Amino acid sequence: MIVCMESRTTNRWTNRRAAGIALGVGLASTLILISIGCGYHRAGNAVALPQNIHSISIPGFVSHSQTFRIEQLLTDAVVREFNARTQYHVIHEANGDADAVLKATVLSASANPLVYDSTSGRAVSALVTVSVQVTLTDRQGKVIFDNPSYLFHDQYEISSNLPSFFQEDSPAVDRLSRDFARTLVANILEAY
Whether the per-residue pLDDT at 101 is higher than 90: the answer is yes
Residue 143 lies in a domain: yes
Residue 169 lies in a domain: yes
Q: Are residues 34 and 95 in the same domain?
A: no
Q: Are residues 181 and 111 in the same domain?
A: yes
Whether the per-residue pLDDT at 104 is higher than 90: the answer is yes
Q: What is the pLDDT of residue 163?
A: 57
Q: Are residues 78 and 164 in the same domain?
A: yes
Q: Are residues 62 and 35 in the same domain?
A: no
Residue 16 neighbours by CB distance under 10 Å: 10
| Angle between helix 171-190 and 70-85 (nearest 10) | 50
For the chain, give the mean pLDDT: 76
Contacts of 106 (CB under 8 A, 6+ apart): 61, 62, 63, 64, 65, 67, 70, 71, 74, 130, 131, 132
Q: Are residues 88 and 181 in the same domain?
A: yes
Whether the per-residue pLDDT at 69 is higher than 60: the answer is yes
Q: What percent of the chain clears pLDDT 90, i.e. is strictly above it?
A: 31
Q: Are residues 19 and 87 in the same domain?
A: no
| Residue-level length of the chain | 192
Q: Are residues 22 and 97 in the same domain?
A: no
DSSP state letter for 61: P
Q: HSE-up of 183 (CA within 13 Å, CB side)? A: 16
Least confident of 75-84, 88-97, 104-113, 183-192: 88-97
Residue 75 lies in a domain: yes
Q: What is the pLDDT of residue 124?
A: 80
User: Does residue 93 or residue 144 have the better pLDDT?
Assistant: 144
In degrees, to the nearest 5, what angle opens at C-alpha 158 toward C-alphas 152 and 162? 80
Residue 49 lies in a domain: no
Question: How many domains are there within the chain?
Answer: 2
Whether the per-residue pLDDT at 62 is higher than 60: the answer is yes
Residue 171 lies in a domain: yes
Q: Are residues 79 and 117 in the same domain?
A: yes
Q: pLDDT by residue (tens digit) across 150-169?
A: 888 888 777 665 555 555 44
Residue 108 phi, psi (nearest 5): -160, 155
Residue 47 lies in a domain: no
Closest CA to 94 of 60, 70, 55, 132: 60
Q: Are residues 31 and 86 in the same domain?
A: no
Q: Are 71 and 62 in contact (CB under 8 A)?
A: yes
Least confident of 55-64, 80-89, 172-181: 172-181
Whether the per-residue pLDDT at 112 is higher than 50: the answer is yes
How far, in Å, CA of 14 to CA of 27, rounded?
20
Residue 146 lies in a domain: yes
Q: What is the pLDDT of residue 160?
A: 60
User: Does residue 144 or residue 66 have the better pLDDT?
Assistant: 144
CATH code (residue 65): 3.40.50.10610
Residue 46 lies in a domain: no
Least confident of 43-57, 65-79, 144-158: 43-57
Q: Are residues 139 and 168 in the same domain?
A: yes
Q: Are residues 124 and 180 in the same domain?
A: yes
Q: Are residues 74 and 8 in the same domain?
A: no
User: Does residue 141 or residue 16 have the better pLDDT?
Assistant: 141
Q: pLDDT by residue (tens digit) across 3-44?
A: 444 445 455 545 555 555 655 545 445 444 444 443 433 344
Q: pLDDT by residue (tens digit) across 47-60?
A: 457 888 999 999 99
- Residue 30 belongs to domain spanning: 1-40
**Amino acid, single-letter form, for residue 162:** L
